[in-house]
Amino acid sequence: MDDIKIGEILLPGDEETQERQEGNVRKKFWPTMRKAARQIPFSRDVIAAFYCATDQRTPLRVRGILLAALGYFVMPFDAIPDMFALVGFTDDIAVLTTAIALINGHIKERHYDAADEILSDEPLAEKARA
Asked if 39 contacts 89 with a C-beta cutoff of 8 angstroms, the reply is: yes
pLDDT tens digits for 45-104? 999 999 999 999 999 999 999 999 999 888 865 444 444 444 566 777 888 889 999 998
Q: Which helix (H) or strand (E) holds 89?
A: none
Cα–Cα distance between 61 and 23 in angstroms, integer?
Answer: 17
Question: Domain of 23?
Answer: 3-129
**Helix locations, the chain, DSSP H:** 3-9, 15-36, 43-53, 60-74, 90-103, 109-119, 124-129
Q: What is the pTM for the complete model shown?
A: 0.76
Cα–Cα distance between 82 and 98 in angstroms, integer?
Answer: 19
Q: Into how many domains does the chain fold?
A: 1
Q: Which residue has the higher pLDDT, 84 or 10?
A: 10
